[in-house]
Structure 1
Amino acid sequence: MDINDYIESPFEIKISFNKLLNQYDDLIAADNDFISANARRVLKIAEDNPILRDGFSDFELLKTYESEIEGILQDTFSPLLTNNEIKTASIPFHNFTFNSSERFKSVLKTAGDNYDLQIKNMPTDDKYIFACAIILNICYGYSLNFKRPFFYEIPDANGIIRYYKMLYNADFTEVIPKEHAPKITEEDYNELIDNFENIELWKAKFPPNSYLFKGFVISNIFDITDDQSISNIKSSLIGEEKRKDESFMKNFHSIFQSLLGLKDIQVGFSIYNKSEDTFQRVYGAGMKSYLLNDLETSQCSDVLCEWSYDRLLKEKKYFSISDIRREFEHPERNAPHIQVLHQQGLGSAIIAPIANEEGLMGILEIVSEKPKVLNSINANKLVDVMPFIVSAVERSKNEEENLIEAIIQKECTAIHASVHWKFVEEARNYINEKRNSNETPTFNKIAFDEVYPLYGQMDVKGSSDARNAATQKDLLLQLGYAEKILSSAIKEKELPIFEQIKYEISEFRLDLKENFKVDSEHAITVFLKDEVKPVFQLIYETQNALKESIEDYFNKVDTELDVIYFYRKHYDDTVKLINNNMSSLLDEKQVAAQKMYPHFFERFKTDGVEHNMYIGESITKQESFNLVYLYNLRLWQLQVMCEMENEYYSKQAEYPIALDVASMVLVFNQPLSIRFRMDEKRFDVDGTYNARYEVVKKRVDKAFVKDTKERITKKGKLTIVYSQKQDEEEYLKYIQFLQSKNVLDKDLEFLELEDLQAITGLKALRISILYKDKKDDKTFYTYNDLMETIKA
């Protein structure tokens, strides 16, 4: 078989000892007779076997001339060092070796018959370009550093992976251009160094087999297991999201096995919570804590004895247990950590603190089922790897803290992405001011001028009445149970107090049925808690026949509220589901809206879902705003409100109780200013004039149609509140467009609102929403679609 078979390369490779033999030609004239005689010996071998100088590419000839090659390489492969040096002769880009030292043969023999020698980190995909770089260096004098550290991973007798680094000695190689090899110019070189990944370009400049590679290389190999293990630990800890990978801990075990030279060891971790003085489990695929075993968390005092606690937390030093069973059987040394390790069938362990200047962050646990294999001697190897573990834990803690802050910000004090840049800008100014001044800096006002507001809400219609009705039912139900129990108690034992309580229950029931008031709930709740409950406890203790009824009564009563919470729970659960489902839909649709044009958006959960939007150039930080984007967002808002209504009513039967909703949007045609209120952690309008907008927002949904007692919002209808004629004209276009798309009905109403406090002249457009039985195309129409429809 030819060396060059199945390999595409700019080289035609020939194994040759010519360049080495040339050095022996010079040594014949040496003054030293021994050196001269040895040179003649080597050259005689070459003279008798000219192919060794001329070169060959047939693998079989390596075996044919094995003894002759050994004779030529006797000086470079000293017989005195053959059992010490790990050394081979080889050809670049190939995994085969020849004329290996006895030490290398021994390493391979130990690895087993099934071991396939492979060079790690060999640039498989880049071999061709790697060879071209060699040609540029040797034949054209360019200095291109394309070197990579090559190494072998070879298992030892215990199956532990050991790492061997290869250093090539290429002194005995020649690279010779063939006749048809294109000559590389300066222009070619400049083009090549800017096109590393263009393999076709490299092949054009260096066609396959256009250069002769003649010679051999000597590989000096060194055991770098400790260094590589440390490097692997570092690499493993650097990558993000590694803990989610199933193979992470398996690889981590293997790396520590190589570092310590021990096959049967496992690695565990636990986190230290300083505020609670507890150890906690590290979450991740394959993660385990041997100190905690099956526990999620535990007090440090329950895991460690006083000495080991001080050793880890105060001295920040590791300790080892070479024989866990021996310690367990010793009555004076049977500490909590010894017990839990022995319980898991472990024989020896090293417990090391992961600590920085601020204190303990976690624990590294290395364990083995065999006694004495882990001890205070090999524990010293941790000194080199602990800094990387400490750095990784520090980074992980910072990432977790940042994640926690991000979640808090998202769930509690969200800063919308559209305005986040402004906060970042002011935060940088704050930091720079703090660095450059001795005075305490102030966080500048966050404000946006000339932005157009949009407001909408989908509210539960008659929410107060619905909740009052649920409360009334709950209280009547509980009073009925109580009255029934008291009637039974009076039959068995007549006590005036029973009669008194029963009378009060009857009065409360009658009053509830005829005249439910706002304060009725509080009065009855206090009565049931302070008067009925003690009496029922007495009945439970004195009348065995009513024990079961009393138990049933208290099982129905909410333990926190001391009242039956049945119908009200259905109401509260329904409102919560409405809020969650509608908010999710609104958030989902917002993603597409932001792509149309960035704008500020926030929503609130009340008895329904409200949302604010602000759009303008000051928010986008770009000179790109056009009023068309405002019109587009207004049209989008109407479509979303209609879709939310459709979504709700299509699933209304799935809610605990049937509630109705009503939708409204508020139009404000003048731009205004908004600012972030630091104390409230939210945006609000800025300035006295703009405050009118906020007043209208808070009151308009409760307003009546002028000269009537009819609320402006109505179930099944979309209400658009405005004040200017031009707003009416604009929204009439949207309505007509959505009517043509079967989103809105034809029953448009033009209404006037009653005067609100200090606000007059509000008007409204109100129109029925068309509900669809089946989900059809949810495509959202743009303002451009509207314009095209109008033109048509």
Structure 2
Amino acid sequence: MITELPHTTKRGVSIKLSFRPFINYLQNQQKNCQATNRLGDMYTYMTDQFTPTFGIEPLEELYDKDRLSMLFQMATVAVFPLAHTNREISYAFGLPFPMTLFHQSDEFGRLRDEYPSLLSDIRAQIGEEDQQRFWYRLILERYYGVQSFNGKTASFRFQQTANGLTKYFRIKINTTFIERSPADSFRFEPKLPDLQSAWIDFAKGGRLPNKNTGGLTLSDFRFEGFAFFIVEDITEAETVHQLQAVFSRLHSDTEPEIYRRFETALRNLVGQPDLQLSIVPFQQVNGYFVHQEEMSARSVFLRHSGKVVDGYKDPHAQKTVQELIKNPVPRLFPGLVGLPEMGQKMLYQNGFRSFLWYPIVNGDEALGILEMASPQPDAFDEGLLPKIEQVIPLVQELLRYQLRQFNQNLEQLIKQKFTSLQPSVEWKFNEVAWEYLRLGKKESFNSPATQVRFPQVYPVYGAIDIRNSSNERYKAVRQDFSNQLAALQQLLKQADLPNELATPEQLIATASAWQSKLTEDLNPEDELNISDFLALEVNPYFEHLRLHYPDLETAIQHYFGQTNPTNGQFNRSLQVYERSVEWLNTAVNTFIENEEKQLQAVYPHYFERYRTDGMEYTIYIGQSISPQKPFEPDYLRLLFKWQLNSMVEMARLTHLLLPRLPLPLQTTQLILAHGQAVDISFRQDEHRFDVEGSYSIRYEVLKKRIDKALIAGTQERLTQPDTIALVYTNTREIVDYLPFITELQKQNKLTSDIEYLDLEPLQGVARLKALRLRLDYSSEQD
């Protein structure tokens, strides 16, 4: 079998088939073997078989194809140990560019049968410039002694599409047995031009030499020998990479385009063109699983069944989803066996013979479900699951993105159409809406007649803050950057990295400079600049190397794996910090939500909560919020008691969490005592309540500044771990708190120590005082 026979390549390089380099190799191997060594006998025998080919030119015309094929079959014995291959490898012997094949393995033949245009497609997909670069490398090695191939092997990627599936391959061209032709083989020996650095740069992946630099005259160079080609199927790795690339365009591509590419890649991965699949998120509203119409249309099962999961009307559907989440194992139904009769019948009628459900659950996080359906009864077997499991982390990220989008759309709709109406104030909005309609929509919602306003309500403010949260975050970010920059420099210090897009030396210098900066300090601008350096300079350089230098692919892939935002080593410290903050916030917010619900039963009030590094809240209570229920001073005192007790319990809760946190973060507790009533009104532009009047505004100023208050005459912050700070202006404001403090001391929840402190003036606020109460943890049970 001889295919595409020309001696002179399209680029002008002359190469002829010869066994001389191979015979030289055999003779060298023979010399290295002992006289009695059977391996030496083999090399002697092979040398005897190939030596008669000397002086026969053109060899491929004077030797029939069977004789040539026999010789190459014999060469396989010597070549395969060099290539570390096995009998099932797809290989061939011949000459490169255009590919001239003299012998091929059964596997290579099977590949050509499957893709009849394989050779022409390889040539078409390996561009002219890459082919020219191949010859530059070979010339530089054989004529100038410049090593540019890694292990004398060049590799190129190409793809083949058949029956609706795309497969990806890498072809390796080994040039071990290609040498420059001896001088006496031609009429003249060309005088070598002086070596140019531009040629080396081009051979290593740089730009083609321009006219001023001057390129090599390829027709002046002559080679002889043969190459051997190895084709590897890299569909799985390439498909996973394509799926990863989908996420870099989540915010730019439309959702249908994202799904189209995701589904195409999955079909290629499992090798089934007629596969139907869907990825459906577990969207929830008020704890019930729901699906928008477009999601039901996307689901293979729901689309054909006509069912819509409705959390409020279909308890059976809810139970089905709950069971999938409770036992999130893949469910394969070859031949549809094992499905409920109704589902089996429905899928069969729609042409399906195999079905798969794969619930995507990560711990307590119910994300969604992957569905696959095929018209083939034996489409799904045990070999399918390992392929799918490779991409489950990517499916999880896609589902998380969808769920975030769903929740954001829901929140946006609520903000546009409604406000966050609490039952205690909903009556007032109904009243104002009726007034607006009664006036024939002639008044705006900002007019006095249609303003939502509550005069003379008492504010109760409290805050739990994470101590030194900003410093702890910067420490975590600094540590992660330090680890990444160190790994980056280690990778860049590998020898012979090409100077493409950026030079390794430049990147090392920049990384080292940032590493030094990290030992000093880190501000938000530095954080942004380091992130830009890694994303805009380092990542493109590594991506280029990954695509063009297969020997570096493992190391670079390992580096990129460590950048994963959820489990990568380069985000580990920040993840530890954020997990600790999240645990504290979740515990505190859950506690305050439950406690506040019980408080509503005592007297209706308006409750505002703000998410900061910790949690702040303000409660407004008074007669104007609940006109039908008389407001007595005792209700305010009950609220003070509730506030002090809840603050003690939240402090004890965070103290109990401390040894369990990934990063030990402490909290500080703060209460602002304010004995005067304020007026609040609803701001239509911001959809929230705000205070009115100069005195009321002073209260807002106090709230924003007291967390930074210092004890008078010192640099000590008022708020400290294991304490509760109670800030006030006049002693009358804390009188109602004192009996409850005494009660908590008797319960061994507060120590007997009470600090009475004066505070340093704050901007616009002076003569503030504070009580500092110390928590007693001795009554905590293990």
Q: What TM-score bracket applies, with the shorter chain setting the length? A: 0.3 to 0.5
TM-score with structure 1 setting the length: 0.46
TM-score with structure 2 setting the length: 0.47
